[in-house]
Structure 1
Amino acid sequence: MKEGLKYNTPWILQRADPYVYLHSDGWYYFTASVPAYDGIVLRRARSLEELPDAPETEIWHKHDTGNMSEHIWAPELHYLDRKWYLYYAAGDREDVWAIRPYVLECCDEDPITGTWRERGIMQCADNDEFSFHGFSLDATVFENRGRYYYVWAEKVGVGKQISNLYIAELETPYKLKTIQVLLTTPDYPWERVGFWVNEGPAAIKKDGRIFLTYSASETGTAYCMGMLSADVDSDLLDPLSWNKERLPVLASEEACGIYGPGHNSFTKDKQGNDIMVYHARTEKEIIGDPLYNPNRHAMLMQVKWNEKGFPVFRIA
């Protein structure tokens, strides 16, 4: 019999950008960036406790050349219009930093044994001249009031570019309906360590509000998590509908041996508790380039809620 969940400690080793999807049939699906950045893996289990020991299957491998041949990053599994979709980012072997968002589609009931079809690069709205022309990654999808929204990070500017978060409504699972809207740019010092970064968005709703967490700064110990929030009845494509927290909502806790927490997703355990799935390191000193150091581990945290109805993310 599996023991209970342990929080804020390595849960699945060397799996960065972790994403857990709980399907309507009760199965939990897990995917993440693998250290080699060379493919997309899936595993499933009946509970979060069982996922670490569940067999892992590579359902798609990078191309040898051209688009989708390098830096396969941050896959997310979604079930939309009775089909499975994987959203992920990838580069080009001839231009490894030409990172763009791509989509895979599976029409079969089982996403692990089913056939995955490449839908190619995410398509922008017909009158959008801006989206996905630069370094773009970390897309997520969420539903609100019957509409589906796509949120992603994209770099803009010249020289040392800035990574912002944008939102648009979906027309189809692989095409935007509306032009991008800027949600947040790195405004504060804690978002500007090493690189000016907002990335890795994830949405959770409760009691009439939607909360959008994101990650900031470089991928080492400075990596941390910020948050936006909006009323579910507001116009989510209006930047003024969103409120940005002045300080990070989660950061390194040296006393607990947790460094660089971020790039999270949300799910629920079998008891209905809100669970955050995130990655973090357990060592302060990182060997080599933090981006290629494999020791970002998937971890779990039970989300608490304060008297104002806002989520509280606490390691200690």
Structure 2
Amino acid sequence: MYKSGDTQVTTLLTPLIEQRADPFIYKHTDGYYYFTASVPAYDRIELRRATTIAGLATAETVDAWHKPDTGPYSELVWAPEIHFNQGAWYVYFAAAPSREIKFNLFQHRMYAIRNTSANPLDGEWEFMGQVDSGIDTFCLDATTFTHKGVLYYLWAQKDNAIEGNSNLYIAPMSTPWQLAGEPVMLTKPELDWEIRGFWVNEGPSVLQKNGRIFISYSASATDENYAMGLLWADEDADVMDPASWTKSPQPVLQTCYEHGIYGPGHNSFTYGEDGETVMLVYHARTYTEIEGDPLWNPDRHTFVKPLKWDDQGMPVFGKPSLID
């Protein structure tokens, strides 16, 4: 929404890419945007690239990796993210054991694949194995970021001693597929808007700007209750100290019933073509009449909008339905 003279104009958003949940867009130094997301079949890792964000909508897709038919990572490939860490491409993702191993499908663990080609849509992807957090429980939604020369791993995981489905953890990395230290919990589902349907903190994404480190995350069930929260710390603080982080008591992005955009979440951040504008990437649905389990519904679509900022240098997410 913006004003032109005395006239107020509203720009309603439409999906950039339909039926792609958990979207991740990475802008590389080669001038390309790289996109990956959960596909409705949950059976592979799909990549595409373009020189503009809009171009990702029609870009050719490449299947980088397919799940095996059986084994510990042969079901429900969720929430891949593509990163360029220490001179190579990595995709981090979660996958569950086959039904022959576990009767309960939601037993995900985290994995990584690597590609040393300049263009990750070319060359071979090497399976690097499980990214072991040292806690043998359900885990997913890994991301990485580098701060003061240290590569960090940030993800969601269940702790059987804490009520709920998943909390957010951080740890330094010794390699882009191995942790170097014990995980530290940064946040757990505890606020009213985080525990609707399911007690969940998941889908973290990192943005470093204005002297702060921001971590967005998603909470509650994956229907219209799904919403985004925010943590932040000073850029000079110890990111491994939970006391360094402040948690917003209210969601920063949530369902817009007025314009029919429901359950926004599992976001990432990228930069616009100008190299300055922070772009918010997220998924949402355009209706609420979901048949069956929301996780199997394919109609979570990728949206992208510019992120705004207030006078204190804090991000303003606005509504998921508007460019405002």
* TM tier relative to shorter chain: over 0.9
Q: Partner of 2:258: helix, strand, or coil?
A: helix
Correspondence for 2:209? 206
Structure 2: give runs of 5+ residues left out of the alignment.
Answer: 1-10
Correspondence for 2:3? none
Correspondence for 1:82? 87
Q: Partner of 2:107: helix, strand, or coil?
A: strand
Contact 2:164–2:189 (8 Å) recurs in 1: no
Correspondence for 1:297? 301
Q: 1:7 to 1:17 in 2, by over 3 A?
A: farther
Correspondence for 1:282? 286
Structure 1: give runs of 5+ residues left out of the alignment.
Answer: 1-5, 125-129
Structure 1 residue 122 and structure 2 residue 131: aligned?
yes
Correspondence for 1:31? 36
Contact 2:110–2:132 (8 Å) recurs in 1: no
Correspondence for 2:121? 112
* Aligned pair partner of 2:71 in 57, 66, 71: 66
Q: Partner of 2:294: helix, strand, or coil?
A: coil
Correspondence for 2:175? 172
Contact 1:145–1:232 (8 Å) recurs in 2: no
The one-letter amino acid paired with 1:110 is N
The one-letter amino acid paired with 2:282 is Y
Count of residues in correspondence between the two structures: 305
Q: Distance in 1 between matches of 2:289 and 2:162?
A: 29
Q: Partner of 1:300: helix, strand, or coil?
A: strand
Identity %: 49
Q: Distance in 2 between matches of 1:123 and 1:39?
A: 21
The one-letter amino acid paired with 2:130 is I
Pairwise CA distance, 1:158: 6.4
Deviation per residue, 1:179-228 (Å, 9 max, x gap): 00010001101100111000000011112101000000010000000000
The one-letter amino acid paired with 1:55 is E
Q: Partner of 1:90: helix, strand, or coil?
A: strand
Structure 1 residue 46 and structure 2 residue 51: aligned?
yes
Correspondence for 2:27? 22
Q: What is the 5 A alignment of 1:169-248?
A: 169-248=172-251
Correspondence for 1:251? 254
Contact 2:45–2:63 (8 Å) recurs in 1: yes
Pairwise CA distance, 1:160: 7.0
Pairwise CA RMSD of aligned residues? 1.4
Structure 1 residue 137 and structure 2 residue 140: aligned?
yes
User: TM-score scaled by structure 1?
Assistant: 0.94
Q: Distance in 1 between matches of 2:265 and 2:132?
A: 27
Correspondence for 1:127? none
